């Protein structure tokens, strides 16, 4: 696409001290905007290019988490081309490796768009077709039945801190796009009712996950707590929702950091990170 100059448009709107890229999904939190800001030599809130890309791609982030020794559910990644070429063969492979019920989701997407819970072959095929409409890669995960959905916020650069933990009680079978943004039946409980031991495990895993992708500024890490007490890392969100009622600021408010102070701290972290990168020589 070509750049278009609008008649009468002002040439620019000045410089920025810091950019807060509150964007979700592909082209927003996957490293594209972050790369543009790097090229513009502009400080910005949040993780860098590589960490943003890894955080968006569930296949890559799961590989990084596995390398860091963080417990996750069993999963497979299926390419859309493979699914279209041999549906029966791929279906047999999935069913031979994983057990029902399962979750099917696009690998590179957020807000639980395109995600389905499946319990049999027929619903598996429908879910794969749905996810394939959003991405060239689909992830199939084993469901942890009866699990509690928990979230922990992380704040910092080199020495990140973890917040108190919140719990989501979905208004439907799981926390999908509709229950997140349309229905108002889900409950957000902050702080979650957890044992000291479970709380410590989740906070430690949150920081480990954040560090493993080289996170910076902020992140929200999502978990599943099985009835057995096992904690499974679900995913990391490198640019979580940031309205005053979103989970991330609510977690920090419950941890003693008010909304305005949280924004101030994120700006400080962005400037610190930018200053540190200025000390790196790019001359070859």
Domains of the chain and CATH, by start: 52-71+145-274 (3.30.470.20), 75-142 (3.30.1490.20)
Whether residue 77 is preceded by a cis peptide bond, meaning omega within 30 degrees of 0, is no
Residues forming a β-bridge with 156: 217
Note the pTM of the prediction, 2 decimals. 0.88
Residue 137 reports pLDDT greater than 80: yes
- Classified as helix, coil or strand, 118 is strand
Residue 268 reports pLDDT greater than 80: yes
Residue written as token pair 């410089």: 15
Q: Give the percent of the chain with pLDDT over 90.
A: 78
Give the model's pLDDT for residue 24: 84
Residue 258 reports pLDDT greater than 50: yes
What are 191-239's pLDDT values in tens digits? Answer: 999 999 999 999 999 999 999 999 999 999 999 999 999 999 999 999 9
Rounded Cα gap, residues 243 and 151, in angstroms: 16
Rounded Cα gap, residues 67 and 63, in angstroms: 6
Of residues 81, 61, 12, the one with CA closest to residue 236? 61
Contact 270, 217 (CB under 8 A): yes
Residue 41 reports pLDDT greater than 80: yes
Least confident of 36-45, 85-94, 104-113, 129-138: 104-113
Residue 122 in tokens: 């027929």
| pLDDT interval class at 10 (50, 70, 90) | low
Give the model's pLDDT for residue 119: 97
Give the model's pLDDT for residue 104: 97
| pLDDT interval class at 245 (50, 70, 90) | confident
Residue 132 reports pLDDT greater than 70: yes
| pLDDT interval class at 243 (50, 70, 90) | confident
Q: What is the mean pLDDT of the chain?
A: 90
| pLDDT interval class at 113 (50, 70, 90) | confident
Q: Residue 123: count other Cβ atoms within 10 Å of its Cβ.
A: 16
Give the model's pLDDT for residue 6: 53
Residue 96 reports pLDDT greater than 90: yes
Q: How far is CA 13 from CA 9, 16, 267, in A?
A: 11, 9, 20
Residue 75 reports pLDDT greater than 50: yes
Of residues 86, 231, 258, the one with CA closest to residue 163? 258
Q: What angle do CA 218, 231, 47 make, to 5 degrees?
A: 15
Residue 169 reports pLDDT greater than 60: yes
Overall size of the chain counted in residues? 284
Residue 255 reports pLDDT greater than 90: yes
Give the model's pLDDT for residue 1: 46
* Higher per-residue pLDDT: 110 or 65: 65
Strand ranges for 69-121 from DSSP E: 75-79, 102-106, 116-118
Give the model's pLDDT for residue 12: 52
* Higher per-residue pLDDT: 256 or 283: 256
């Amino acid at each position: 696409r070509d750049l278009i100059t609008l008649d009468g448009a002002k040439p620019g709107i000045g410089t920025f001290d810091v950019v807060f890229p509150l964007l979700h999904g592909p082209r927003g939190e996957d490293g594209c905007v972050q790369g543009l800001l790097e090229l513009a030599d502009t400080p910005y809130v949040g993780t860098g290019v590589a960490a943003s890309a890894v955080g968006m791609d569930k296949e890559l982030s799961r590989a990084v988490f596995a390398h860091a020794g963080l417990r996750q559910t069993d999963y497979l990644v299926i390419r859309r081309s493979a699914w279209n070429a041999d549906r029966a063969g791929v279906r047999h492979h999935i069913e031979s490796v994983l057990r029902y019920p399962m979750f099917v989701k696009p690998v590179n997407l957020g807000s639980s768009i395109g995600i389905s819970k499946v319990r049999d072959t027929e619903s598996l095929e429908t879910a794969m077709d749905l996810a394939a409409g959003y991405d060239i890669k689909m992830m199939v995960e084993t469901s942890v039945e009866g699990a509690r959905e928990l979230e922990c916020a992380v704040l910092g650069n080199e020495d990140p801190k973890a917040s108190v933990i919140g719990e989501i009680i979905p208004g439907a079978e799981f926390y999908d796009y509709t229950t997140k943004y349309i229905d108002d039946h889900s409950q957000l409980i902050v702080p979650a009712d957890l044992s000291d031991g479970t709380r410590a495990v989740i906070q430690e895993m949150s920081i480990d996950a954040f560090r493993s992708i080289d996170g910076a500024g902020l992140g929200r890490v999502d978990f599943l707590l099985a009835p057995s007490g096992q904690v499974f890392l679900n995913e990391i969100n490198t640019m979580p929702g940031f309205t005053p009622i979103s989970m991330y600021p609510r977690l920090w408010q419950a941890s003693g950091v008010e909304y305005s102070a949280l924004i101030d701290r994120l700006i400080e972290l962005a400037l610190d990170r930018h200053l540190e990168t200025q000390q790196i020589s790019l001359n070859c």
